[in-house]
Structure 1
Amino acid sequence: MASLILRRLIILVPLLAIVSFVLFSLVVLIPGDAATTLAGGGDASVADIERIRSELGLDRPFLVQYGSWLWGVLHLDFGVSLDSGTPVAAELLARLPITLSLVVATMIVTIPLALGLGIWSGLRAGHGEDRAVLAGTSLAIAMPPFWVALLLVSLFAVVLRWLPPAGYTPFSEDPAGWLHRIVLPALALAAFPVAVLVRQLRGGLVDTMHKAFIRTAWAKGGSPRQVVLGHALKSAAMPAVTVLGLQVATLLGGSVVIEQVFTIPGIGSYLLNAINTQDLPAIQAVALVFVVTNVLVSLVVDLTYGVLNPKVRTS
């Protein structure tokens, strides 16, 4: 297992280098000019634009800009926000725990719900309950997160008045207040990953339950719990683990919209504001955080494969 971890970590180094270069290239090449925006927009003089461009280092060669940016990133220095004038690292440090708390709350909702519905539907394949679950998951996949959020706000905040429609309370200040306000955003963000995981787990379980080793487990007198949870679920969970890892990217992407709907001051809303103001250092930093998070989740998925399937450890 240690050798598997070491190999995966070695692979991450060139991967992150390539990703950082591509990310920096795409952000620099997007339409718009930060220097023009900071100088006052279309009415700014050429002299002011060139002065600001020189102050930001945008007049230097592309590779020099990338090298300077990468050196700063390696020292956790993402530059200064062009919009607020504060260090981007400080903004991320303040906002990242908020987004992570939303993602964690979403996963707390997603995993038990997906496991329960996936197993329940997989063991009742072809029955009315199974068809109802498939119909519900199809509907959840078709509905975008912001639409689910609006429906939840209309029902639970406007009609029933059980939960607040927006706002955020830090967990460290008031755990009960945090839970009260995070329920609706977490449910809205969990709808899609729950539906995808339920269908994946249900399909894997239906296929696994007809395999020879499951029939052997039944023939040996195994209880339903031993056969389903101890044998079938372990085999059926392999594809679901990959899907679960991919859903992290979905959660991070969905958090951008959900944070806007519920006015949560996380990195998603920070990214949208940076895009609107053409704040290049902030855009680069948030995009890099998203990419690194996805890469690390992929590493965790690989290591989980090594736990579920010993053959992977030697591959």
Structure 2
Amino acid sequence: MTRYLLRRLGQSGVTLVLVSIVVFVGVRAMPGDTARALAGEETTPEALAAIRAEYGLDDNIAVQYARYVQHALTGDLGTSARTGLPVLDAILDALPVTLELALFSLLFAVVLGIGAGVVAAVRRGKPAEWAASTVALLGLSVPNFWLGIVLILGFAIALPLFPASGFVPFGTDPAENLRRMVLPAVVLGTGLAAVVMRQTRAAMLESLSADYVRTARAKGLSPWQVTGGHALRNSLITVVTVLGLQLGQLISGAVVTEQIFVLPGFGKLMIDAVFTRDYAMVQGVVLFTATAYILVNLTVDLLYSLIDPRIRLGGAR
């Protein structure tokens, strides 16, 4: 277990280094002059030269990257050119919003997706399976921005049950916070729920036809015990893997969803940074997001042994 964990941490570290290199080089390959973006369109050559000297833009790109890594390891991700505030402070301010949205979206996707997948597998060939498959297909096909607009028109304007936009911190007003997070969570979680449903159904169909399930039925166990205690538990490995892999889609979908519902999370932070060429902010958000993605996938790998004790991490038997 320890050897496997160390090996996975080493792989995660290498991945993070490669991501930081790609982001650092990619940001500098964007059209436009970084110094001019920091100084504004109307400035003097002397001011541009001073900015390049201050930020080390005249140095070799390898020197710039080494300096960036050195500062990042101490928690210094640079200063936002748009606000003049530290990038890390802006990320930490937006992080609770995106985490809350991701948590509610994930909860919605797990409850709806696993439930519909189990029903579709147990009721195979019946109207319940057709209905679940149809809803899953719609969930995969409908874009987030269109679904968000439809939900706003239906449940914020026609039937004013939920606010159309804005964010209220949970600590300020818990009830209002939950009301404002319902529609964004549904929008972001719908596509993930469809993926979870289809994977759960496929895994459940395979488990229900296995020998151990037939043995459990022969022992006289109830249908709920057979389905939940045996078939579903052995199908969760597939579901957990899908959830870990879909985190990237969840984060990318949050960019659009947060823009639609005007949530001050990572999505709005990233869009504003790109539009204003705030390179330090773009680097910080992408690096922070990549780190979270790597940690989640590491956690998913470690959860395998808890779900199925037969699995021995690191290849041990």
TM-score, normalised with respect to structure 1: 0.95
Q: What residue number does 1:293 align with?
A: 292
Q: 1:39 to 1:11 in 2, by over 3 A?
A: closer
| Structure 1 unmatched ranges of 5 or more | none
Question: In structure 2, what residue type is equivalent to 1:6?
Answer: L
Report if aligned partners of 1:166, 1:263 keep a CA contact under 8 Å in 2. yes
CA distance, structure 2, for counterparts of residue 245 and residue 173 of structure 1: 31
Q: What residue number does 2:85 align with?
A: 86
Q: Could you tell me how far 1:3 is from its partner in structure 2?
A: 3.9
CA distance, structure 1, for counterparts of residue 130 and residue 32 of structure 2: 50
Q: What residue number does 2:10 align with?
A: 10
Q: What residue number does 1:66 align with?
A: 65
Q: What residue number does 1:277 align with?
A: 276
Q: Could you tell me how far 1:264 is from its partner in structure 2?
A: 0.7
Tell which deviates more after alignment, 49-58 or 88-97.
49-58
Query: Does residue 1:258 correspond to 2:252, yes or no?
Result: no
Query: Does residue 1:305 correspond to 2:309, yes or no?
Result: no
SS of equivalent to 2:311 = helix
CA distance, structure 1, for counterparts of residue 143 and residue 188 of structure 2: 9
Q: Could you tell me how far 1:85 is from its partner in structure 2?
A: 0.6
Q: 1:126 to 1:75 in 2, by over 3 A?
A: same
SS of equivalent to 1:311 = coil
CA distance, structure 1, for counterparts of residue 162 and residue 202 of structure 2: 35
SS of equivalent to 2:5 = helix
Question: In structure 2, what residue type is equivalent to 1:108?
Answer: L
CA distance, structure 1, for counterparts of residue 165 and residue 39 of structure 2: 35
Q: Could you tell me how far 1:61 is from its partner in structure 2?
A: 0.7
Identity %: 37
| Pairing of 1:24-103 with structure 2 (within 5 A) | 24-41=24-41, 44-103=43-102
Q: What residue number does 1:242 align with?
A: 241
CA distance, structure 2, for counterparts of residue 238 and residue 108 of structure 1: 17
Q: 1:208 to 1:15 in 2, by over 3 A?
A: same
CA distance, structure 2, for counterparts of residue 314 and residue 157 of structure 1: 51
Report if aligned partners of 1:168, 1:264 keep a CA contact under 8 Å in 2. yes
How well do the aligned residues superpose, as a CA RMSD in angstroms? 1.5
Q: Deviations over 1:228-272 (max 9, x none)?
A: 112111222222111111222111111111111111111210110
SS of equivalent to 1:80 = coil
Question: In structure 2, what residue type is equivalent to 1:293?
Answer: A
Question: In structure 1, what residue type is equivalent to 2:4?
Answer: L
Q: Could you tell me how far 1:44 is from its partner in structure 2?
A: 4.4
Q: What residue number does 1:19 align with?
A: 19
Q: What residue number does 1:138 align with?
A: 137
Question: In structure 2, what residue type is equivalent to 1:61?
Answer: N
TM-score, normalised with respect to structure 2: 0.94
Q: Could you tell me how far 1:31 is from its partner in structure 2?
A: 2.1
Report if aligned partners of 1:4, 1:303 keep a CA contact under 8 Å in 2. no
